[in-house]
Structure formats: C-alpha cells, structure tokens
C-alpha cells in the first residue's frame, strides 16, 4: 500500500533529502483513512519487550508500576519473548558482548517494530564514552532507533513523554516502518 | 572440593537462561546442565554489561570517579559513593564534620531501605506473586521523592563528596522522613502478612539453596547471603565507620542456611534500618556539611582500602596512587561477584524451578558484578 | 540440624573473643612460618611480599594454623607496575578479626603463580578475572578461561598499562 511514494523518475535531482514524503497526486482517500485507523490502532496498543540492562531498567520498572503507570497508554502487557512484542525499550548500556544479542532480539521481533533508546548510555554511550574499550557508543550502531530519551537515568515522566511521542510518530506515519521509497523500505 | 564436569552425558540437557530474561535481574547468562529436572551444573557467563569501569577510572580525577560507582550497584548508590569517599579521605587524612557524618548515615540507611524494598518486590514477582511488586514500588517512590528533594536525583544521586556531602539538607527533609517512618512501620507488618507467612512462599523457599557456614566463608560471601548462614560479617559492626559505633542496632543473623533464612535476614534489616533512621532524624547536629578540601585532590603515594556495608554485602575500594591527580589503579571489590560464585554450589541437586528462587534470595545486581 | 548449628555458632563466637593476636605477635607468627617474608611499612594493614614460588605453601599454612586461621579472602587483584606485575591478596580472619595483605611480584613476560582456589573457593572467579585482564597464568586452576570479556579477547589483557585499542577507546 504505497500511499506515500516517490514519483517514478527517482533520478530526479530535486529529491534532496532521502526521507521526503510525497503525496500521491489526487490523494487516495480510502487508503489514507484506512492507514489512519491502522496507525491509531497500532499506536494505542504497543507491547514493550522486557529488556533492561542497567540502571535505566529501574526507572522503566518505576514507570510500569503504580505511580507513573504506563498501561494507561496501552503498554499494558510487557512480554518476555521478542516474538510477541512491538517495541523494544533499550534501557541501559550496550556493550560489545551484548550487541549481537540485541541484534538477534531485534531480528526476532515481528514487523511493525519500533525502538526507543532510553537514557544517555543507549543514545550515545553516555558517561562511558571516553576511555572504555567495551562500550558501544550508542545503540543506534546496532539497530535503528526511533525515539531517543536524554537523562541519566531519565525520569519516568520523560519515558512516558517518549512513549507518547512514539505514538504520535506512528499516527503521523513518519516512522521508519511507514516511509517507503520506490516501494522498498528504508 | 571442586568437582569438574567435563563430559556431558547422553541424557543431559543444556539450557540457556538469559541474558534477556525477566528474572535475571540484569543481564546474566546462565548455562544450566540438567538431568531431567535436576540441576547438575550452573555456569554463569558474565560480561554482558562490562563497562570497563576500572580502566576508565584511571583517567578520571579523584572527584570525578565517584559518579561511576553510583552506576555500578545502582540500588545502593549512596553506599558505593560512601566507600569511594572514605578511601579518598583516608588518603588525604580529612576529618569529616559531625553533621556530615549523620547526614551520610541517614542517606545510606534510607537507600538500604529502598534497596531491600525493591528486592522484596522483585523476589515476590519472581516466585510468582505479582502484587507485592506494586506495593514495593509505592513505598520506594516515597523514598525517591525524599532523595530527589535533597540530593537532586532519584536513582543515581551523586551526593557524597570527599569531605562530606554536596548540599545541605532540604528544610522539608525531617518532616518527610517522619511521615515516611510512620507510614512504613505499618507497611512492614503488611509485607510480613502478605508474603513472609504465606505457606506457598515458605514451601518455595524453605530447604532451597543450602549454603553452610564454612562454604559461605570460603566462597567469600558477605552481607545477607552470609548472614543467612550464621556468619557474622556486618562491616558496620566489625569495623565501624562514620557514627555507626554510637548507634543502637542489632546485626541480623539467621542460622537456617537456606533461601528462607536469607529472606528473613533482609526483613530484619528493614526493621533495623528503620530504627537507625528513627534514632538519627531528630538528632542531626548543627555545623558544616562539608570539610574544607582543595579543589584538585592529590592523594599521596601509597595504597588505600576502604570497606563499607552495602545492601548486598561488603563493598571494597582499593586505590593505588602514585601521587598524581588520577589514580594509578582502582579495584572495586563487589559483593555480588563472590555471592554469585556460591550459586553453582548451592544449586547442584536442586530442581530447575527453584533456581529462580535461589537467585532472588542472593539479591544479585549484575552491573555490580561485571563492573 | 538447627540445634547443631546453634551450638557450633556459639562456640565460634566464643573463640573470637578469647584469642586475638596483636600486631607484633602476628608479625612474629608470620615470620616464624616463613622467614623470608619482606614487610612493607605504611597502610592500615600489614603488607608483606612473598616469592611466587612459595605462595601456595604459605597460603595453606595461613589457612590451617589455628591461631592465624585466615579463612576469608576478600580481595584478589593485580597491579601493573610497568616493569613487573604485583598480585595482591587481602586476607582476613572472621574468627580473630585480623587482616593482612600479601603481595607477590611477577615477571611481565611470563607471569604465573599457583592458584589458591582449593583453599579459598572465592579465588576461582577472581583468578579468572585477573587472567583475562592482566594475563597472569594460574597454575593448576580447574577452569581458566574468559569470564567477563567477550570471545576473541584472549591475548589482549586490557588492564595492562600498554594496552592500546584505537578502535574502541576514545581518549579524552
């Protein structure tokens, strides 16, 4: 369903930015409304994967518990198996030994899947950026990330804000899943 | 005696637990060799969160390396920071003012409470009861709010500096702690009613994971893991630091040697910590909250070691200094590393379903082990 | 089993209150065991240097001798002085509450020392860690392989002072 796709002459030089979204000429009312409904449904019931490596995992658990409850927003069931999860929240530092495990988990998740990089360590290596031989400086060296959260550790409200941002991103149709160039995904 | 299983027999099953698993409390990869449902050998594979902290600290100054230890054992962050500050203060021979000492002990005991509360909730969830998890986090949020008002952060608060604490207490601190004490006294009884005396919980924890007195010492276990086997090893009692020598509290020791005994030790510690907070909260002396130190600290040439009692056991900081502004070598002796080595010994012969209860009773925090 | 535990526990705590050696007595006892110890001044606890070839027999005696009884090895590490490596063992007795630090100098090229994991079982993991980070070979260790580092880091010894890793390490 390529509602937003480039015109057929892809060699055209006024395609400055590869992620630009072009509307099909004449619209496509039925298919775009269906897309809206599907996006709404997907964004309001994202199931996170239980994946916390270090300190940010405690703030993630706080977000799951009674005071900052994330199940109000649809993240009710945190699944342990990647086959049943929609979004992976990378909470904690990724090190060289863990990176293949993360890649394998990401590959096992079924489409559509989204990634949130929580905390400074997952965004860029964080406090462990300089003079470490074993830290991957940012989880986006391993898997593509949709939303980054700053903080060490970020407050539960920051994580909720990121989850709501992800929901809005899905509804607007701008996540990696939904942008297609010439019929193929980025 | 160390038995070596080098051959796997025909009927053995090798199961990988982790590193991504809801009950491994971090990223711990266990390779379990099973014969049917009986465990023959448990082999932990570590290193999935090895952030090369010891190498990194060789390029950080003596004021900077303290923040890293908050992220090692993040549930008892204050106590880790305290261990580092002690080591630096030993090297510089600084005297800490009385007010700073009392504030430090208050923060440490509140952190111990928070850590044990989370351990309780996580253990109950691992064993199968989901509700205590929410009860535990409800109380933890009260402590987090108190910490946030004074220290500035909820989880990895960098409040201890060599010489004292970073800021003075917030004016609301005393009132909030009083409210918390009044609240928590009834909650501990609620926890006991909910989980401790529950016959299903007892059946899952009693007789599981036996660790005898001699084995606990030989494996280097410390903290509640060793105290559940009768070993008297509380650093606050044996080598008192700060003002612990003036406080009235008992060392919690149980003789059962099983997981239930380790559980009871921590529940007793909750009550003891609460009584320490009660003793101190009305008697905070006036004065400086930080001793005067230079901006750039230089330790003299030599070696310094300091031990503190964290929620998991005996945390040691060993600094080798060559006289410069950065340490030459730092070694962090983490309690989880030695406690984990006892897991293989206590798990042999038990059923696979009990492995999670054993790990929960050891209270492992994996970033503390991997450093 | 509860009654036996209580009785043995009471005996153990009683012992600790009776016999505790002072620093001078401790030094004399250790010298009696091993005359070639070199003591180092300074520091909280007694520091001593021992030859790596004599370490295992000394360790056995430290553990077994009744009035020393060092049963708790609470820290095992290695320090890289650029000309040689030094193994450091922090020992404590939970019965008598005395602490010592035993050190041993090793060659950089051929660093090896006997394992003590049959005396103190905690040494098994600690020695594996020192092996992978510094390259010290522990003789007769039951299972000497990588513990914390990922596969492929066998010869690299990251905590040595001459470790260079331009790919991973970003210097400040």
Q: Residue A19: what pLDDT? A: 54
Query: Which residue from B365, B136, B27 is spatially nearest to A64, judged by alpha carbons?
Result: B136
For the entire predicted model, the pTM comes to 0.88
Q: What is the pLDDT of residue A116?
A: 92
Residue A97 to residue B48, Cβ atoms within 8 A:
yes
Residue percentage of chain B with pLDDT more than 70: 98
Closest-CA residue of chain B to C96: B238
Q: Which residues of C touch A96 (CB under 8 A)?
A: 150, 168
**Within a domain: B228:** yes
Are A55 and B67 a contacting pair at CB < 8 A?
Answer: no
Neighbours of chain A (3+ CB pairs under 8 A): B, C
The CATH number of whichever domain residue C61 belongs to comes to 3.30.460.80
Q: What is the pLDDT of residues B1-33, one digit of tens each?
A: 344 555 667 778 899 887 888 776 788 899 999
Q: Does residue C72 form part of some domain?
A: yes
Which CATH architecture group holds A46-172?
3-Layer(aba) Sandwich (3.40)
Output helix, strand, coil percentages for chain A, rounded to the nearest 5: 35, 15, 50
pLDDT category at A3 given cuts 50, 70, 90 is very low
Which residues in B lie closer than 8 A to residue A127 (C-beta atoms)? 67-68, 71
Helix (H, G, I), strand (E, B) or coil at C104: strand
| pLDDT-based confidence at residue C154 (cuts at 50, 70, 90) | confident
Query: What range does the domain containing B64 cover?
Result: 51-370
How many beta-carbon pairs under 8 angstroms link A with B? 94
CA distance B122 to B137: 10
Assess if residue C166 is contained within a domain.
Answer: no
Q: A14 pLDDT exceeds 90?
A: no
Q: How far apart are the first and last CA of chain C?
A: 59
Alpha carbon distance B79, B81 (integer Å): 5
Please list, in sequence order, all residues whose beta carbon lies within 8 angstroms of the beta carbon of residue C91, skipping any fewer than 6 positions away.
C62, C70, C72, C73, C74, C99, C100, C101, C102
- Is residue B28 domain-resident? no
Mean pLDDT rounded to a whole number for chain B: 88
Interface check A37 vs B, CB under 8 A: no
Contact C90 B305 (CB under 8 A): yes
Predicted interface score ipTM higher than 0.90? no
Tell me the nearest-neighbour CA distance from B170 into chain A, angstroms.
21
Contacts of A131 in chain C (CB under 8 A): 169-172
Residues 6+ apart with CB under 8 A from B167: B150, B151, B152, B159, B289
Return the CATH number at B235.
1.10.645.10
pLDDT for the residue numbered C165: 82
Q: Is residue C121 part of a domain?
A: yes
Give the Cα separation of B53 and C80 in Å (integer): 16
pLDDT at residue A182 in the model: 45
Q: Write the residue in B27, B74, B75 that is nearest to A98 by C-beta.
A: B27
Domain housing C44:
14-139
DSSP annotation of C156 reads: T
Q: Is the pLDDT of residue C24 over 90?
A: no
Which chain C residues have a beta carbon less than 8 Å from that of A129? 170
Cα–Cα distance measured from residue C16 to residue C70, given in angstroms and rounded to the nearest whole number: 13
Q: Where are the domains of chain A?
A: 46-172
pLDDT tier for residue A78 given thresholds of 50, 70 and 90? confident
Contact C147 B257 (CB under 8 A): no
Tally of domains in chain B: 1
B75: left (phi over 0), alpha (psi -120 to 50) or beta: alpha
Please count the residue pairs, one from chain B and one from chain C, whose beta carbons lie less than 8 angstroms apart: 100
Residues of chain B positioned with their CB less than 8 A from the CB of C9: 213, 230, 255
Nearest CA in chain B to A156: B154
Strands of the A114-118 sheet, one edge to the other: A48-49, A87-91, A114-118, A147-149
Residue B72 preceded by cis peptide, ω within 30: no
- All residues of chain C having their beta carbon less than 8 Å from the beta carbon of residue A134 are 149-150, 158, 168
- Answer yes or no: is B340 within a domain: yes
């Amino acid at each position: 369903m390529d509602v937003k796709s480039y015109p057929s002459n892809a060699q055209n030089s006024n395609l400055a930015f590869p992620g630009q979204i072009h509307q099909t000429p004449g619209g496509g009312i039925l298919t775009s409304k269906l897309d809206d409904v599907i996006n709404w449904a997907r964004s309001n019931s994202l199931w996170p994967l239980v994946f916390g490596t270090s300190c940010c995992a405690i703030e993630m658990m706080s977000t799951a518990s009674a005071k900052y409850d994330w199940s109000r927003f649809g993240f009710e069931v945190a699944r342990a198996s990647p086959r049943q999860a929609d979004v992976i929240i990378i909470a904690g530092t990724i090190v060289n030994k863990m990176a293949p495990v993360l890649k394998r988990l990401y590959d096992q998740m079924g489409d559509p899947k989204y990634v949130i990089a929580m905390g400074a360590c997952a965004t860029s290596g964080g406090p462990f950026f300089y003079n470490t031989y074993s830290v991957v400086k940012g989880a986006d060296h391993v898997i593509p990330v949709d939303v980054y959260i700053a903080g060490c550790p970020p407050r539960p409200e920051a994580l909720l804000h990121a989850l709501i941002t992800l929901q809005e991103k899905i509804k607007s149709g701008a996540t990696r899943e939904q942008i297609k160039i010439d019929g193929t995904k980025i | 005696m160390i038995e070596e299983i080098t051959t796997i027999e025909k009927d053995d099953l090798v199961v990988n637990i982790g590193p991504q698993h809801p009950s491994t409390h971090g990223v711990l990869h266990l390779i379990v060799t099973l014969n049917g449902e009986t465990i023959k050998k448990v082999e932990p594979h570590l290193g999935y969160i090895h952030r090369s902290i010891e190498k990194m600290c060789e390029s950080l100054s003596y004021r900077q390396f303290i923040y890293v230890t908050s992220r090692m054992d993040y549930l008892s962050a204050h106590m880790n920071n305290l261990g580092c500050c002690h080591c630096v203060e030993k090297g510089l021979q600084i005297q800490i003012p009385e007010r700073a000492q009392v504030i430090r002990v208050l923060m440490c005991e509140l952190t111990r409470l928070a850590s044990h509360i989370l351990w309780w909730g996580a253990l109950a969830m691992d064993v199968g009861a989901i509700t205590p998890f929410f009860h535990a986090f409800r109380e933890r949020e009260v402590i987090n709010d108190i910490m946030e008002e004074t220290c500035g952060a909820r989880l990895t608060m960098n409040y201890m500096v060599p010489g004292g604490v970073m800021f003075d207490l917030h004016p609301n601190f005393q009132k909030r702690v009083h409210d918390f004490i009044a609240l928590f006294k009834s909650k501990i009884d609620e926890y006991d009613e909910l989980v401790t005396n529950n016959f299903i919980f007892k059946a899952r924890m009693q007789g599981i994971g036996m660790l005898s007195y001699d084995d606990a010492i030989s494996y280097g276990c410390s903290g509640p893991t060793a105290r559940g086997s009768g070993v008297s090893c509380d650093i606050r009692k044996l080598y008192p630091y700060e003002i612990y020598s003036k406080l009235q509290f008992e060392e919690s020791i149980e003789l059962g040697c099983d997981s239930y005994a380790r559980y009871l030790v921590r529940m007793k510690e909750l009550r003891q910590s609460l009584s320490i907070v009660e003793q101190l909260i009305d008697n905070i002396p006036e004065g400086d909250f930080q001793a005067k130190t230079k901006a750039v600290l230089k330790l003299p040439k030599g070696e310094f070691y300091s031990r503190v009692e964290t929620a998991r056991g005996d945390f040691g900081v060993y600094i080798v200094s060559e006289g410069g502004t950065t340490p030459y070598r730092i070694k962090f002796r983490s309690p989880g590393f030695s406690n984990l080595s006892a897991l293989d010994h206590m798990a042999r012969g038990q059923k696979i379903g009990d492995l999670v209860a054993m790990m929960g009773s050891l209270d492992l925090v994996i970033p503390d082990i991997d450093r | 089993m509860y009654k036996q535990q209580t009785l043995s526990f009471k005996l153990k705590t009683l012992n600790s209150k009776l016999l505790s050696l002072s620093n001078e007595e401790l030094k004399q006892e250790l010298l009696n065991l091993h005359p070639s110890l070199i003591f180092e001044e300074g520091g909280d606890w007694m520091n001593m240097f021992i030859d790596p070839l004599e370490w295992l027999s000394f360790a056995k005696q430290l553990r077994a001798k009744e009035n020393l009884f060092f049963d708790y090895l609470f820290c095992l590490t290695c320090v890289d002085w650029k000309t040689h490596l030094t193994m450091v063992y922090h020992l404590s007795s939970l019965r008598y509450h005395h602490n010592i630090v035993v050190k041993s100098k090793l060659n950089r090229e051929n660093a090896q020392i006997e394992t003590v994991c049959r005396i103190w079982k905690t040494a098994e993991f600690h020695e594996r860690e020192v092996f992978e980070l510094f390259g010290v070979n522990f003789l007769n260790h039951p299972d000497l392989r990588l513990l914390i580092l990922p596969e492929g880091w066998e010869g690299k010894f990251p905590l040595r002072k001459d470790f260079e890793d331009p790919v991973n390490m970003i210097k400040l």
